[in-house]
Amino acid sequence: MYLEIKNIHKFFGTGENRTEVLKGINCNIEKGSICVLLGPSGSGKSTLLNIIGGIETAEEGSISINGDTIENMNEKQLSLYRRKHLGYVFQSYNLIPNLTVRENIEVGAYLSDNPLNVDDLMKTLGLYEHRNKIPNQLSGGQQQRTSIGRAIVKNPDLLLCDEPTGALDYKTSKEILKLIEDVNKKYGNTVVLVTHNDAIKNMADRVIKLRDGQIRHDIVNTEKTPAQELDW
Ligand SMILES: Nc1ncnc2c1ncn2[C@@H]1O[C@H](COP(=O)(O)OP(=O)(O)OP(=O)(O)O)[C@@H](O)[C@H]1O
């Protein structure tokens, strides 16, 4: 079992405003699988992703990756864990504005012990011809591809994607999903992808639906649809 999520409870706020946003989340995610986390706005998807990524901490419960428990790590170990094992793709691209496509992706490569080849990756991402442009010379889809490149180039064991297509049009969204699917196939990274979009569940091996801080459905999908054929 690769990613073990055990009894996660998370609260926000204090006093009367204290709210439990995750109410005991339990699940195990297999190595190399694509897991889609679905649920309405406010159901706790991003919070759970941030806890898996070591960006936020839970009041109760534990997250283990290949047997290493995040809660037992000190600040330095946690930072090393995030740097070496995690790739994070956000809805906002968070690119460094004065660096080129190549340089933005190289930032990710510097953080890894076994980075992928930057040229090969830019070709896979359809960015090679744009490699010397800076972010404001790129379309939204090209910027999102660059941010995926920066996350993937580390060759992370675990790729966490928070609404990676949220800001993109239909066609570009499907291209980005296909890309995530391609890298999962090619490099075997485990992917956890948060989305509002119900159709995206069809490309996943595993679909977890959250509502109101709890898992309502946890389904193994045996008949995956390739990202290219998704329809919504
Ligand atoms: N830093 C914070 N402080 C206080 N409350 C927070 C904080 N972050 C999230 N919340 C609350 O926790 C709940 C879950 O938020 P979360 O962002 O995890 O939901 P989500 O399912 O990802 O929603 P969306 O799909 O809209 O992004 C929401 O009610 C939100 O208002």
> Does residue 5 lie in a domain region?
no
Q: Are strands 3-12 and 60-65 parallel, antiparallel or unpaired?
A: antiparallel
Q: What's the structural domain count of the chain?
A: 1
pLDDT at 56: 92
- Flag whether 166 is in a domain: yes
Tell me whether residue 99 is in a domain: yes
With a threshold of 0.90, tell me whether the complex ipTM lies above it: yes
Instruction: Write the pLDDT tens digit of every residue in 118-154.
Output: 998 898 888 999 999 999 999 998 998 999 899 989 8
On average, the pLDDT of the chain sits at: 92
CA of 119 to the centre of ligand 1 (A): 37
Task: Say if residue 48's pLDDT is above 90.
Answer: yes
Report whether pLDDT(167) > 80. no
Q: What is the pLDDT of residues 193-228, one digit of tens each?
A: 999 899 999 999 999 999 999 999 999 999 999 999
Tokens of 143: 């910027």
pTM for the whole structure: 0.91
* Pocket flag, ligand 1, residue 209 (CB < 6 Å): no
C-beta of 196 in contact with ligand 1 (< 6 A): yes
| Helix (H) / strand (E) containing 123 | helix 118-124
| Model confidence at 166: pLDDT above 90 | no
Residue 4 falls within a domain, yes or no?
no
Q: What is the CATH number of the domain that holds 43?
A: 3.40.50.300
Percent of the chain with pLDDT over 90: 64
Q: Which residues pair with 20 in a beta bridge?
A: 11
Task: Provide the residue range defining the domain that includes 144.
Answer: 32-57+74-229
Which ligand 1 atom is nearest residue 39's CA? Answer: 21
Q: Are 55 and 22 in contact (CB under 8 A)?
A: no
pLDDT at 84 over 80: no
- pLDDT at residue 179, as a whole number: 84
Residue 160 lies in a domain: yes
Give yes or no for a contact between 93 and 135, defined as CB atoms under 8 angstroms apart: yes
Q: Residue 209's closest CA among 30, 27, 56, 31?
A: 27
pLDDT of res. 170: 87
Please enumerate, as own/partner, the contacts of 21-24 that have beta carbons within 8 Å and a separation of 24 or more: 21/47, 21/213, 22/47, 22/48, 22/51, 22/58, 22/213, 23/212, 23/213, 23/214, 24/61, 24/214
Q: Pick from 47, 48, 196 the residue to mutate for probing ligand 1's pocket: most ligand atoms within 8 Å of its CB.
A: 47
Confirm or reject: Cβ of 91 under 6 Å from ligand 1. Answer: no
| Among the listed residues 155, 214, 189, the one whose alpha carbon sits nearest the alpha carbon of residue 30 | 189
Residue 20 inside a domain? The answer is: no
Residue 82 counted as domain residue:
yes
pLDDT of residue 83: 83
